[in-house]
Structure 1
Amino acid sequence: MKTRKKKKGMYIALLVLLGLLGLLVGSLYNSLNGNPLSKWLAQRELQQFMVEHYPEKRLRIEKGFYDFKFKRYEFRVKEIGVDADKGEPAEYEFSVGGWIPKVKVDGIRSANLDMPLMERLRGEAEAELQAAFARRVPAVREVSVQLEVVKGQLAENAAWTPSLKLDEPLYIHVVTDAAGASKQQVAEAAAEIAAVLDAGGYDYGHVTINSNVMDDEAGKDPYGYVKYVARFDKGGKVSAGDVEEVTK
């Protein structure tokens, strides 16, 4: 009797183990290849996005695959009835990702960005912000700004100003000198940078601050290596506990 119960217990344990193994394999497979349901949801989101944003275009989703590196689906979309210079329909790349699927990369928008104007405005914005930040935070060494302008959105001679009407907020990256800095001082620098942006009326979405070691230990790289990282969104605050220390 005891032997029979023991065998039954081992059988149940084996079934549980096999079930867990199956879940593990399935989870690994999905993380590398996606799954039919998530792909269908991503494709449905893309279809709705195209109808909403490009109702004047005839678009057809051609192919889709799962990019496990970025954990999102990549789709090729063809514009029907419009010939490109080589007599072929225009094609665009779209990316959809997230637990609740959202379009991360809009290929039509990317194809219509005004790159020369963006480069000029970006340079003007970076120079303005670097000067403004450095007055409050002398350790600031570099400021990078990401902004997007669609062709026809602004006049070609438009000058940079925080009041420019862009349809996406700015992403701002700041590099500071970490010499003698603590986590608390990096957090205080982040607060000063946020104060400059808010007082100036900048429409920004996210700010990243890398506080870098730039002494002889850093070698030939003029920007050294990252010691601390601080991040905040518009309206957010950074405390010393939010500052990440990067181990070399």
Structure 2
Amino acid sequence: MTMKKWIYLILIIILVVPILFFYNAFNGNPTWKYFSNKAVKHYLEVKYPGDEFVIRDAIYNFKVSGYSYTVRKVGDEHQKDYEFTVTGFWKPTVTYDGIYYDNLDLPLMEKLEKEAAAEITELLKDKVDRIVEMGVQVEVLQGTYSPDTKWSKDLKLEKPMYLYLIADATNMNKEDVLKTVRSIQQTLNSEHYSYLGFSFNGNLFDNEMIQKDDRGYVKYSVLFEKDSNIELNDVEEYNQ
């Protein structure tokens, strides 16, 4: 192949590849659609054995870079539709299960989250200068526990809980934040709490513009997992 033909070939690749990438990002492609359909079928077979489902044709959702499916259980007298989402190009995976979320026990979850937040706030009050807000997210399916069940870290949840904490960091620097989050992690682990992740926001309350905002504004943030090794570069600092 002559140099001129090589140049033409390279120019074509330079022009075509971005166009294909852009089209794929907003419209998907037949291959991706085929394997995402297989992924949702396999997921339903494993997650809900013994049940049969009608899966409607996929709709590409560019907002999540994946395919959305409408699924209906065969024999369901209510004929209810559930949304499923499959994302991932190389390994399509179900990332949203409408049946699962429809069967969560929301009233009990809200009750347990409040009780867990109160318990963990008490546990961490000596580790954090001032806790502005403590939040806990848990997931419990309907029928798993009675409505009057009280929070316990030994409850079997569908997934490990997720926690977030807003603290007053007006008088803290990055090193102080690092020391604080390490202490939080050590305390939770030593008390044998199971959690998927912990989001720490260190907020400032030294600006006249936010006097009416009891949450202040974010100065530091750290996201860590139960067994992660938290370092100083994990502390994100924001300039206002």
Superposition TM-score, scaled by structure 2 size: 0.92
Aligned partner letter, 2:128: V
Max radius of gyration: which structure? Answer: 1
Deviations 1:80-136 (A, max 9, x none): 22111xxxx121011122342222111111111111111100111111112212221
Number of residue pairs matched by the alignment: 238
Deviations 1:157-198 (A, max 9, x none): 110010011121111111111212222211111111112211
Residue number in structure 2 paired with 1:5: none
Structure 1 contact 178–213 (Cα < 8 Å) conserved:
yes
Residue number in structure 1 paired with 2:127: 136
Structure 1 contact 212–226 (Cα < 8 Å) conserved:
yes
User: Which consecutive unaligned segments of at least 5 residues does structure 2 have?
Assistant: none
Given candidates 213, 225, 235, the residue that maps to 1:221 is: 213
Deviations 1:53-93 (A, max 9, x none): 11132112113222222222211111122111xxxx12101
Matches within 5 A, 1:16-55: 16-55=10-49
Aligned partner letter, 2:67: Y
CA distance in 2, matches of 1:133, 1:67: 41
Structure 1 contact 210–229 (Cα < 8 Å) conserved:
yes
Aligned partner of residue 21 in structure 2, secondary structure: helix
Structure 1 contact 218–224 (Cα < 8 Å) conserved:
no
Deviating beyond 3 angstroms after TM superposition, the runs of 4 or more aligned structure 1 residues are: 8-12
Residue number in structure 1 paired with 2:234: 242
2:183 equivalent to 1:182: no
- C-alpha deviation, 1:11, in angstroms: 5.0
2:204 equivalent to 1:210: no
Change (3 A) 1:217 1:108: same
2:220 equivalent to 1:232: no
* % identical aligned pairs: 34
Superposition TM-score, scaled by structure 1 size: 0.89
CA distance in 1, matches of 2:38, 2:239: 42
Alignment RMSD, CA only? 1.8
Residue number in structure 1 paired with 2:96: 105
User: Which consecutive unaligned segments of at least 5 residues does structure 1 have?
Assistant: 1-7
Given candidates 79, 91, 97, the residue that maps to 2:81 is: 91
2:55 equivalent to 1:61: yes
